[in-house]
Amino acid sequence: MSERLQVGDVAPAFTLPDADGKDVSLSDYQGRKVIVYFYPAALTPGCTKQACDFTDNLDVLATAGYDVIGISPDKPEKLAKFREKENLKVTLLADPEKTTTEAYAAYGEKKNYGKTYMGVIRSTIVVDEEGKVERALYNVRATGHVAKIIKDLGI
């Protein structure tokens, strides 16, 4: 498990396939601010709520200069289904090996109903135009999270 990212850290580089199998890299966003969020699984209630919230607020975020990337361990085919079913507009990336998820410290020990297990920790990392961490939020809630980010970023 990686150390949690801190403000000012260089965001770990990545290249992952999107829902169409096309490679997307963090470096593709050089010069733009990017909200990179990690979620456990496509097509689940909490993750759907979060992805829909980001999609619903995409214009507001884009106007303020932010792009949004969602990363999960799902395969591109499942992400494509998720995108179509929910009419999502955010970029969804597949990280089945969890290498990027681990590099961002968004994978680790979780507790649920008294059980401890390893899994994706719902996290959001805001990366500035130069590829540095502007904000690192871990163990975020699916509901209300996007509104909080917008407020925190002063958008």
Name the token pair of 117.
């297990």
- The residue from 24, 47, 80, 92 that is catalytic is 47
With contact defined as beta carbons under 8 Å apart, do 42 and 52 qualify?
Answer: no
Q: Quote the CA–CA distance of 120 and 137 in Å, as a whole number.
A: 13
Identify the three-state secondary structure at position 99: helix
Active site residue 52: no
Task: Give backbone dihedrals phi and psi of 114, rounded to 5 degrees, phi first.
Answer: 80, -5
Q: Which residues are catalytic?
A: 47
